[in-house]
Amino acid sequence: MKLIMLGAPGAGKGTQGEILSKKLGIPTISTGNILRAAVSEGTPVGRKAKAFMDAGKLVPDDVILGIVEERLAKPDCAGGYILDGVPRTIAQAEFLENDGVKFDAVLSFEISDAEIEKRMTGRRTCLKCGATYHVVNNPPRTEGVCDKCGGELIQRDDDSVETVRHRLEVYHVQTEPLKGFYEARGILKMVENQPTIEATTKVVLEVLGM
Ligand code: AP5
């Protein structure tokens, strides 16, 4: 199965991607996590991406497409994958389509901007493996420590209120048009916001017919 997860920053893509990945036995590919690892390792891609990410802007398409092409060529993607945070522009979607990739479904996580702002302030992210938590909705067993790998949990630099507002603007202008793109292809599935992570998973499985 090949899936795309579309949605505003903080809509729950990473959280649901992790759950679905375990359930379906296929990897989740998060361009955000790949970029953050590149930034912390100081690679050429990371050095190029950092200023865009800190400002809440999209990283240029050529950088993203290079990352995605390399990742999709790895053997663990042979049985399918879940894309988290990519495509994010029409150009990225057209690139995947022209490359012959056929998606089974595009999950669009629907949530208001006001709700996003509330969620982001409580989010904590693992520096080492990228897993996400929420101080109230999904706390780790030990404060500040990742349940999965023991890494340090931090608040992301781009989760400040001002940067989140800018990321939301970027989402509405550059990424939201992808809904029309995939609706025209008959594979868009709406996932309305739910008060808990478990309730969202239930809706995701329902819209996927699972
Ligand atoms: P990226 O890392 O992809 O960030 P994003 O899309 O902004 O999404 P987030 O990771 O912030 O949120 P999420 O939807 O995964 O929500 P989460 O599950 O954590 O990208 C970062 C940057 O990289 C971009 O700004 C850009 O610069 C660059 N970039 C990446 N990809 C790119 C691309 N393709 N093109 C160009 N640039 C690119 O949930 C949020 C919080 O809410 C968590 O704390 C969670 O526990 C909690 N939560 C989740 N669901 C629920 C629920 N139902 N109820 C209550 N709490 C919930």
pLDDT at 85: 95
Per-residue burial over 195-206, b = 16 or more CB atoms within 10 Å of its CB, e = otherwise: eeeeebbebbee
ipTM confidence score:
0.94
CA distance 210 to 203: 10
**What CATH number does residue 105 fall under?**
3.40.50.300
Token pair 């990283």 in the structure block, residue? 59
Give per-residue pLDDT as tens, 182-196.
999 999 999 999 989
Q: How far is the CA of 58 from the centre of ligand 1 (A)?
A: 13
Residues 8-24, mean pLDDT to the nearest whole number: 95
Residues 39 and 49: beta-carbon distance below 8 Å: yes
Task: Please work out whether the CB of residue 14 comes within 6 Å of at least one atom of ligand 1.
Answer: yes
Give backbone dihedrals phi and psi of 46, rounded to 5 degrees, phi first.
Answer: -60, -40
141 is a domain residue:
no
Give per-residue pLDDT as tens, 79-89.
999 999 999 99
Give backbone dihedrals phi and psi of 78, rounded to 5 degrees, phi first.
Answer: -60, -35
Which residues are part of the catalytic machinery? 13, 88, 123, 156, 167
- Decide which of 153 and 136 is more confident: 153
Whether residue 124 is predicted with pLDDT greater than 90 in this model: the reply is yes
149 is a domain residue:
no
119 is a domain residue:
no
39 is a domain residue:
yes
139 is a domain residue:
no
Share of the chain above pLDDT 90, in %: 87
Task: Please work out whether the CB of residue 8 comes within 6 Å of at least one atom of ligand 1.
Answer: no
Q: Which of 16, 24, 17, 30 is nearest to 194 (CA)?
A: 16
Residue 151 is given by DSSP the state P
Q: Which domain holds residue 6?
A: 2-111+161-207
Q: How many domains does the chain have?
A: 1
134 is a domain residue:
no
Give per-residue pLDDT as tens, 41-71.
999 999 999 999 999 999 999 999 999 999 9
pLDDT band at 130 (very low <50, low <70, confident <90, very high): confident
8 is a domain residue:
yes
152 is a domain residue:
no
